[in-house]
Structures are given as structure tokens and as C-alpha cells.
Amino acid sequence: MAQANQRKSIFVTGAASGIGAATAKHFADKGWFVGLYDIDEAGLSGIAQDIGAQNCICGHLDVRDRTQWASAMEGFSQATAGQMHVLFNNAGIGRHGWFEDIAPEESDAIIDINVKGVINGVYAALPLLKPTKGARIVNVASTAGFAGAPQLAVYVASKFAVRGLTEALELELEPLDVKVTSLAPWFVDTPILDMGQTKNANHKMSDNLEESGVEIYPVSLAAQGAWDAATGTKTHYGVGKLSNQTRFLSRYFPGFMKRRTRKSMPPRDA
């Protein structure tokens, strides 16, 4: 098993692709030891090869399963001498479509992974975070956690929950020297943009974005945002100009935001 050997360490969920993979590589490039965890073991293997076996540890992790969390923490702790400098709670899914067209089971999965998975991670990681000086939890929320978006209702609800959890835990854990922040990306070029009404839907959210000309940011920008969230002093960190703009407008000009969103909505069948 690879060892951190006194290097700073980060535990990344959803590390096999997208923001998780880019963040893992970004931190490894800066000399950190990286824990790579996902249900996609083949994807993890490729990321581990890119990073180098001596710089990481890999493990299967379904964030809904507390038993798997406990096993992952045990292995990570052995590799890092019981330390964890950053928990990067990144694993997430989404479904795109009108609320009533998305099966309740699909909505259950969004809440179970995006919300309960994050909560499970905090519970599991605290025993390693608390004894680590200057430790931090970075929860991946979304710009959708600041402004409601049609055809993403349950996903939006999950990210509002992550935002609220972050703000509450920031206050709770501050006396324990564990800082809590969130990363709130705008649309980033990752597999989550392939979300449809169901897992294997033909029509994807990326199709809608392309048709409407919405700007999509590179995943490298999100990885830099993750670094900022892990090292900076703020609570919430956006990714891209449109993320920060949307958060500002939602806070200070909510009426304008609603009108603008209504204009961009596709027509609904009667």
C-alpha cells in the first residue's frame, strides 16, 4: 500500500471522472497524497496510473453505504497515519426533465447520493479530520444551490441542502479547527451534463445547453476552484464568472433572476 509519508492528504469521492478526477490530479501535482474513491473501479485505475501508484490509494465506494465508508476510512487512515487534511465530498448525480416525468426512484437516488452521501462522508471522516491540524471539508454544491432551475428541481433541492449543511457545519466545527466550505460550479464539461430523465435517456441536458448557447466551463477551472475552496478563507467558492454572477443576482435581485429564468424555459405541453 502506498503511504503519504507526511505529505498532506485529500480524500476524493467521485474520483473516477469529471471534477473529482481533475481535482485529484490537481492536488497530486501539488505534492499531495490522494485517496481515490468511486464505484467506477476501471475509471479509478486510469486516474491512479496518471497520478502514480506511489501518490495515491484507490477504493470502491458507494457513498450511500456507511459500511463502505468505514472500510474506505480504515484503508485511508493506514496510508496517512490517521490524518486527513481535506475531505472532498464530490460524488453526485442528476436527472434533467420536468418534475413529473422523472421517476420517484430516480429522485430518491439523487437525494441518497447528493445529500445523504455527503452527510455519510462527514460522519465517517471526522475521526481523521479532528486530529489533523487545519483540516477542511469541501462539499461540492452547485450554482443550482443558489438559484432554482426548472427541469432540475430535485437536483436543485439536493444542492440547496448541501449549501445549508455546509453553512451549519462551518459554525459547528470551527471550534474543532475543521473548516467547512463548498464549491458551487456553473455548468462544467463533465459526465453529469449527460443527465436525462433516466440514467440511459436519449435526450441529455447537454443537448439543451448546446441548443440554447449556454456557456460551459472546462473541468480544469473547477479543479482550481477546489484548490481555492481547500485553501481559502471564504465559505462558498464559485466556478466561472457566470457562477458568481448568478449567486449575486439571486441574492440581491431575485425578481430579476426569476424573470430571466422564465424567459429561458422551454415550452410545456398542456
What is the structure's pLDDT at 133? 97
Residue 184 maps to a domain: yes
Instruction: Name the residue with cell 466556478.
Output: 239
Residue 269 maps to a domain: no
Strand partners, 34: 10, 56
Residue 1 maps to a domain: no
Residue 137 maps to a domain: yes
For the chain, the domain total comes to 1
pTM recorded for the entire structure: 0.90
Spatial CA neighbour of 143 closest among 14, 20, 240: 240
What is the structure's pLDDT at 265? 83
The separation between the first and the last C-alpha atoms of the chain, rounded to the nearest angstrom, is 59
Q: 37, 123, 155, 252: which one is catalytic? A: 155
Q: In the sheet that 86-89 helps form, which strands lie side by side, from edge to edge?
A: 56-60, 33-38, 9-13, 86-89, 135-140, 178-185, 236-239
Residue 270 maps to a domain: no
CA angle, 236 as apex, 228 and 206 as ends, to 5°?
90
Say how far apart CA 44 and CA 67 lie, in whole Å. Answer: 20
Strand partners, 12: 36, 88
Structural domain that includes position 259: 9-264
Say how far apart CA 237 and CA 140 lie, in whole Å. Answer: 10
Residue 239 maps to a domain: yes
Instruction: Specify the DSSP element, H or E, that contains 206.
Output: helix 205-212
Here the cell at position 209 is: 445547453
Taking residue 211's Cβ as centre, other Cβ atoms within 10 Å add up to 9
The enclosing domain of 87 has a CATH number of 3.40.50.720
Residue 77 maps to a domain: yes
Spatial CA neighbour of 61 closest among 8, 136, 111, 113: 113
Strand partners, 59: 37
Per-residue pLDDT of the chain (270 residues; tens, 9 = 90+): 899 999 999 999 999 999 999 999 999 999 999 999 999 999 999 999 999 999 999 999 999 999 999 999 999 999 999 999 999 999 999 998 999 999 999 999 999 999 999 999 999 999 999 999 999 999 999 988 998 889 999 999 999 999 999 999 999 999 999 999 999 997 787 675 565 555 555 444 544 555 555 677 788 999 999 999 999 999 999 998 888 898 998 899 999 989 988 888 888 875
**3-state class (DSSP) for residue 38:** strand
| Exposed / middle / buried, residue 235 (Cβ in 10 Å: 0-12, 13-18, 19+) | middle
Q: Is 237 one of the catalytic residues?
A: no
Strand-pair category, 86-89 with 135-140: parallel
Taking residue 3's Cβ as centre, other Cβ atoms within 10 Å add up to 13
The CB-side HSE value for 223 (13 A sphere, CA atoms) comes to 20
Residue 82 maps to a domain: yes
Contact 183, 141 (CB under 8 A): yes
